[in-house]
Structure formats: C-alpha cells, structure tokens
Amino acid sequence: MKSFLYIITLGLFLLLPFAGNAQCKNFAKKVCKLELNPYIHDGNFNAAILTEGEDAELFKTFYAGQEYRISVCGSESIPQVEFIVMDVDRKVLYSNAKNKYATSWDFKVEATQQLIIVVKVPASDDKSAEIASGCVAIMFGLKAD
C-alpha cells in the first residue's frame, strides 16, 4: 500500500509542470495570438513560465522575401517583458527595450536565415518583494498577400 501511495505521489509531482505549461499555452492561444492580427499565425504556441531575472532563447528560421510579426506577451503577474532579436552571430537586430517595450515587431527578411529571439523578465528593484513568475509567450505571424 505504501509503494502504491508513493507511485501516485511521484506521478502527481511529475505531472505538475505539464499542468502549468498547459495553462501557459492556453494563455498564449487566448490572449497573445490576438496580438498578431492582421498577420497569420504560424500555428506554433511558444510559451513558458518564467520568473523575474530569468530569460529564454528560441531559434527560428525566417524565409527570404516574407514579412513577419514577432509578438511577445506576458501574464499580468510579471513586469514588462524584454525581447531581443539577434542573428546567428548574436548581432542585435532589434530590442524592444529601445522601443518603449513594444510588444511586437514587424520586419521583412531579404535572405533566408535563422534568428535568435531572447525573452527576459527583468528582476525587480524591490528586494523585499516576493519574486514574481508568470507565462511568457512568443508568437510569430506571416503577412497575408
């Protein structure tokens, strides 16, 4: 009986991260996808739970002659989210921190290339405050012809 209870408990702990991630993807579908309009969503929901001070990187291929929109949004529980777009040599092509923390960027690529999108949740200046965490989603849209 104890081993059965142990297996059930272990199973629940292993499934908890998936439940949080599922809620995050649901947030991306219901809230962030709307920010792509009038661009057509690429069908991928890139979302993760991040804590203040954390960052994440995503590599994505963009194709020559296409116009894109990158949209980044975060849940209300975290401060504004910074996102940076770099080429494979890590040369910064765009930073929303230099653009009043805009939530999207529209651009056109001249040559097919892989870009790196980094999202950061800035750490709070208030050291006595509880560390916040929440969902951050990166969405990609393609301009319709």
What pLDDT digit, counting tens, does each position of 29-42 carry? 888 888 899 999 99
Which range of residues forms the domain containing residue 106? Answer: 2-142
pTM of the model: 0.79
| Amino acid code (one letter) for 17 | P
113 Cβ contact partners less than 8 Å away, ≥ 6 residues apart: 61, 62, 87, 88
- Segment 107-123 shows an average pLDDT of 95
User: What's the domain count of the chain?
Assistant: 1
CATH number at residue 76: 2.60.120.380
What Cα–Cα distance (Å) separates residue 41 from each residue in 9, 33, 112, 115?
A: 39, 7, 19, 18
Q: How confident is the model at residue 125 (pLDDT cuts 50, 70, 90)?
A: confident
Contact 69, 39 (CB under 8 A): yes
Whether residue 115 is predicted with pLDDT greater than 80 in this model: the reply is yes
The predicted structure's pLDDT at residue 1: 55
